[in-house]
Amino acid sequence: MEFDGALLVTEAWINGQQAGRHAGGFARFRFDVTNLLRQGDNTLVLRVDNAPDAAVAPLAGDYTLSGGLYRKVRLVATSDLHFDMLDYGGPGVYFKPYAISHETASLAWTARVRNDRDRSARAVVTTRLRDAGQRIVASARKTVELPPRSAVEIDLQAVLPAPHLWQGTSDPYLYTSEAELAEEGGAGASLRDRLSFAAGIRDIRLDPERGLLLNGASYRVHGVNVHQTSLPGKGIAASDADIDADYRILSELGVTGLRYAHYQHPQRGYDLSDRAGWLVWTELPLTAAVNGSDDFLANSTQQLRELVRQNSNHPSVMLWGLGNEIYQSDAASARVLAKLQQIAHEEDPSRPTAYANCCAPIDGPQASHTDAVASNVYFGWYDGQFADLGPFLDANRTRRPATALAISEYGAGASALQQEDPPRRPQPGGRWHPEQYQALYHEAAWPQLAARPWLWASFVWVGFDFASAGRNEGDTPGFNDKGLVSFDRTIRKDAYFWYQANWATQPMAYITSRRHALRTQAATQVKVYSNQASARLRLNGVDLGQRPVAGHIATWQVELAEGANRLQVSAGGAADSVEWTFRPAPPAR
Burial 246-269 (b: 16+ CB within 10 A, else e): bbebbeebbbbbbbbbbbbbbbbb
pTM: 0.96
Q: Can you tell me the distance from the alpha carbon of 525 to that of 527, in angstroms, rounded to the nearest whole number?
A: 6
- Residue 543 backbone phi and psi in degrees, to 5: -75, 120
CATH number for the domain whose boundaries are 219-463: 3.20.20.80
pLDDT value, residue 587 = 79
Pairing of strands 372-376, 405-409: parallel
Q: Identify which of 215, 249, 212, 213 has the alpha carbon closest to the alpha carbon of residue 229.
A: 249
Q: C-alpha dihedral over 60, 266, 106, 373, to 10 degrees?
A: -30
Question: 294-311 and 331-347 are packed helices; what angle lies between their axes, rounded to 10 degrees?
Answer: 30
Is 178 catalytic? The answer is no
pLDDT value, residue 186 = 65
**Cβ 222 vs Cβ 257: under 8 Å:** yes
Q: Identify which of 383, 482, 366 has the alpha carbon closest to the alpha carbon of residue 392.
A: 383
Query: What residues of the chain score a pLDDT lower than 50?
Result: none
Residue 550 burial (10 A CB sphere; 0-12, 13-18, 19+): exposed
In the DSSP assignment, the letter for residue 560 is: P
Q: Is 84-199's fold the same as 518-582's? A: yes
Q: What are the sequence ranges of the domains in the chain? A: 2-74, 84-199, 219-463, 518-582
3-state secondary structure of 306: helix
- Rg of the chain over Cα atoms, rounded to whole angstroms, equals 27
178, 180, 306, 325: which is the annotated catalytic residue? 325
Quote the Cα angle for 49-54-59, to 5°. 85
Question: 240-253 and 494-503 are packed helices; what angle lies between their axes, rounded to 10 degrees?
Answer: 60
CATH of 2-74, one of 3.30.70.920, 2.40.50.1020, 2.60.120.260, 3.20.20.60: 2.60.120.260
Residue 443 burial (10 A CB sphere; 0-12, 13-18, 19+): buried
**Class for domain 84-199, per CATH?**
mainly beta
Q: Identify which of 305, 298, 285 has the alpha carbon closest to the alpha carbon of residue 52.
A: 285
- Report the CATH superfamily, name and number, of domain 518-582: Immunoglobulins (2.60.40.10)
